[in-house]
Amino acid sequence: MQSTVQGHVVMSLVVSAELSFRLVADLEYDAADPYAVRLTFHLPGDAPVTWVFGRELLLDGVSAPSGEGDVHIHPTGDGEVCLLLRSPEGDALLRCTAAPLVAFLNRADRLVPMGAELAAGSLEAELADILSRGCENAG
């Protein structure tokens, strides 16, 4: 049984109105942590950087401004989405096309439908418990 959904998205790290850098980010959704999405950036010469935020935040941000605190997501109106990530080290503004995000969210929704996260988390824990006891009850 598949328990994760993964995807890739090409993003632009916006430095200024005239300058941006392309980078690839990995998306991951794990049914064991059904409310979260992981977005990992692979920067040349640096260790990967992972941001974890709510799946619902990403879903909402594809169609309307969403987010408080460290992560803000909003559509640009031209088929793209902006992500603003804030940390003590500074802010990062990223842009990408919405299509790969929507495709990723659709695959995550097939794994754990939106609104069914609580049941999915319980099911995963229960299944892990049953499988871990399997050898004890054999024979």
User: How many domains is the chain built from?
Assistant: 1
Return mean pLDDT, the chain.
Answer: 87
Check residue 112 and give its pLDDT. Answer: 87
Instruction: Label residues 83-96 b or e (16+ Cβ within 10 Å = b).
Output: bebeeeeeebbbeb
pTM over 0.85: no
Question: CATH no. for residue 113?
Answer: 2.30.31.20
Segment 10-52, tens digit of pLDDT: 999 999 989 999 999 999 999 988 999 999 998 878 889 999 9
Domain that holds residue 129: 4-137
